[in-house]
Amino acid sequence: MLDRTQQISAASWKAERDIMSADADPDRARRFRDAALPHLDDVYTLAHYLMRNQADAEDAVQECYLRALRHFDSYRGPEIKPWLLAILRNVCKTEFARQSERPVAIERSDDHAPVEPPAWQEAQSSPEVELLRRHDAETIRRLIAALPPQFREAIVLRDINNLSYRQIAEVADLPVGTVMSRLARARSMLRAAWNAEEEPKP
């Protein structure tokens, strides 16, 4: 754990130093801020569902923005959101690869512990209805988190981040047809998993 934290901090620190020295153009940095920061929630959302824990997600997002700033000059696309999400995705893949090289993998199965909503939410609901809703929301989150990565990614990009098929194809570097079949499969799996939750076979 220490090892990992040190590596991430070192990488981030190096990236920041690179920016400070390489970026003499405040106008460029301002353009980057204006273009990229509005998409922070979308980037964080994908990181959250890919990394499945908050610390890793935050590290990935920070690294994504630092990398994006460094490569902002090479950005030519009409839309910055898919470009940012593609960078985030690469950051996450690199991190997965790095983690899998280590002899002891971090156990992640319990990372997605549900968060209790504040007591003032849904005050008009009966406790039973509220319990049901909370249970369902937690269930959906857990089932999405349990999908294999490529299907999880497809469903997050489409159904949570609201990207078009072509944007998803750009982010994931896939043909549109593959995006489509993955998304269809992801939804089928999600639906099947929900059914299994609802009606466990005896």
How many residues touch other proteins under the rule CB under 8 A: the total is 62
Structure tokens at 130: 């509220």
Nearer to other proteins, 54 or 101 (CB): 54
Structure tokens at 88: 């985030």
- Can you give the length of the chain in residues? 202
Chosen residue from 8, 50, 51, 69 binding other proteins by CB under 8 A: 69
Nearer to other proteins, 106 or 192 (CB): 192
Structure tokens at 188: 């089928």
| Cα–Cα distance measured from residue 145 to residue 193, given in angstroms and rounded to the nearest whole number | 12
| Cα–Cα distance measured from residue 117 to residue 34, given in angstroms and rounded to the nearest whole number | 32
Site pattern 41..60 for other proteins (x: CB under 8 A): xxxxx--xx----x---x--
Chosen residue from 66, 85, 147, 172 binding other proteins by CB under 8 A: 66
Q: How far is the CB of 178 from other proteins (least distance, A)?
A: 6
Structure tokens at 20: 């400070």
Chain centroid, CA 143 distance in Å: 15
Chosen residue from 65, 88, 91, 152 binding other proteins by CB under 8 A: 65
**Helix, strand, coil shares, percent, the chain, to 5:** 75, 0, 25
| Cα–Cα distance measured from residue 94 to residue 88, given in angstroms and rounded to the nearest whole number | 10
| Cα–Cα distance measured from residue 67 to residue 76, given in angstroms and rounded to the nearest whole number | 15
Site pattern 126..165 for other proteins (x: CB under 8 A): ------xx--xx--xx--x-------------xxxx--xx
Site pattern 97..126 for other proteins (x: CB under 8 A): --------------------x---xx----
Which amino acid belongs to residue 73? D
Instruction: Note the residues at the interface with other proteins (CB under 8 A).
Output: 16, 19-20, 23, 26, 29-30, 32-33, 37, 40-45, 48-49, 54, 58, 61-62, 65-66, 69, 117, 121-122, 132-133, 136-137, 140-141, 144, 158-161, 164-167, 175-178, 180-181, 183-185, 187-192, 194-196, 198
